């Protein structure tokens, strides 16, 4: 059996570089060695691309992606490695925002996950809300941070419009604390949003597939002991969150579960998602659902929500990777 050469992109120049490395390590442990030959491509925090032996490597041979394949540079010469498909295991800026997706499309290499349009729409929270609201789905009230703060009703959340893993997010209780929160968010993105604080349970839905044929994992509920949910912010997240636990399956009524699933699928389709995504919503006490955010390349670490929800539905990470790669190759033939 001829193995498919799967280029696995990991690392990247965003603040989520360490998380991406952890996700890649988990992929390494679950990718079927009988079907696939992994080609590990590390992107450094400076943006350099290197061919390496695996996700534990810190250095490798310089490489360049081209329409001819992956060009490995050595002693003034290069060899070509042709990739059958690319699996981007990247999070945040330059991984989830359409940038690397556009590069892969220019090179003519099929890749797993959302395309340029879906990635860009989901990365920018204000665009996400605009598209989703036009589809009739509730979103939080939100404003550009440069608007008059006198219009805000506190508490509010201040967050970078295009970042992930809760980096730069603050809960603001008083108007006098708003400027510092905006400045903290601007460390990650010049575009900053101020959002109303939606009161409700945080529910996640993992999705896998294309717009017409979707598989969903079990829903989860984020159970908070205090504060607000911040993923990947702990010193040792593998040992658990300092203020939250995850209940899978989510302990919510059957009617609420059905509504969350229906809403998550509608969000996924409205934003032109494909491959995979995690849609997070708020379930309010009155039974209504409000979108929180969409992650088009959710974490795949040992403690991440997406693989946990899929596994609870009977789909382990190895099977998820199989389906993602098959979907990417299917897109190539369309």
Catalytic residues, by residue number, are 19, 22, 91, 232, 238, 278, 299, 303
User: Following DSSP, what letter does each residue of 268-312 receive, concatenated?
Assistant: HHHTT--EEEEEEEEE-TTS-EEEEEEESS---STT-HHHHHHHH
Task: Identify whether the C-beta of residue 238 lies closer than 8 Å to the C-beta of residue 303.
Answer: yes
Task: State the number of CA atoms in the 13 A half-sphere of 71 facing the CB.
Answer: 11
User: Following DSSP, what letter does each residue of 154-214 receive, concatenated?
Assistant: SSEEEEETT--TTTT-EEE-SGGGHHHHHHHHTTT-S-EEEEE---SEEEEEEEEE-SSSE
Q: Give the separation between CA 158 and CA 178, rounded to whole angstroms.
A: 8
- Cα-to-chain-centroid distance, residue 184: 22
Q: Give the separation between CA 41 and CA 59, rounded to whole angstroms.
A: 10
Q: Which of 251, 130, 267, 138 is nearest to 207 (CA)?
A: 267
Q: Give the separation between CA 201 and CA 189, rounded to whole angstroms.
A: 27
Q: Give the separation between CA 319 and CA 138, rounded to whole angstroms.
A: 33
Task: Identify whether the C-beta of residue 53 lies closer than 8 Å to the C-beta of residue 133.
Answer: no
Task: Identify whether the C-beta of residue 83 lies closer than 8 Å to the C-beta of residue 6.
Answer: yes
Q: Give the separation between CA 6 and CA 66, rounded to whole angstroms.
A: 16
């Amino acid at each position: 059996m001829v193995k498919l050469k799967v280029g696995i992109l990991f690392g990247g120049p965003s603040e989520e570089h360490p998380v991406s490395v952890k996700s890649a390590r988990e992929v390494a442990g679950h990718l079927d060695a009988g079907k696939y030959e992994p080609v590990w491509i590390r992107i450094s925090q400076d943006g350099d691309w290197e061919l390496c032996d695996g996700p534990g490597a810190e250095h490798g041979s310089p490489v360049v992606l081209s329409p001819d394949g992956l060009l490995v540079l050595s002693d003034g010469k290069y060899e070509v490695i042709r990739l059958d498909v690319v699996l981007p295991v990247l999070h945040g800026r330059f991984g989830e925002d359409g940038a690397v997706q556009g590069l892969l499309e220019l090179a003519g290499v099929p890749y797993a996950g959302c395309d340029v349009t879906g990635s860009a729409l989901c990365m920018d929270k204000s665009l996400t809300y605009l598209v989703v609201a036009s589809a009739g789905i509730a979103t939080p009230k939100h404003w550009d941070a440069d608007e008059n703060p006198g219009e805000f009703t506190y508490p509010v959340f201040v967050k970078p419009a295009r970042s992930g893993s809760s980096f730069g997010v603050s809960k603001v209780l008083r108007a006098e604390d708003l400027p510092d929160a905006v400045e903290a968010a601007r460390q990650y993105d010049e575009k900053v949003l101020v959002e109303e604080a939606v009161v409700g349970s945080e529910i996640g839905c993992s999705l896998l597939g294309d717009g017409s044929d979707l598989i969903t994992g079990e829903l989860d509920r984020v159970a908070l002991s205090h504060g607000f949910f911040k993923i990947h912010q702990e010193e040792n997240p593998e040992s658990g969150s300092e203020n939250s636990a995850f209940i899978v399956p989510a302990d919510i009524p059957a009617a609420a579960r059905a509504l969350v699933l229906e809403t998550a699928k509608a969000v996924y389709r409205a934003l032109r998602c494909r491959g995979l995504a995690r849609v997070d919503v708020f379930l309010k006490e009155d039974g209504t659902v409000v979108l929180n955010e969409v992650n088009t390349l959710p974490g795949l670490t040992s403690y991440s929500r997406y693989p946990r929800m899929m596994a609870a539905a009977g789909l382990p990470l190895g099977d998820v990777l199989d389906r993602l790669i098959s979907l990417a190759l299917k897109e190539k033939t369309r």
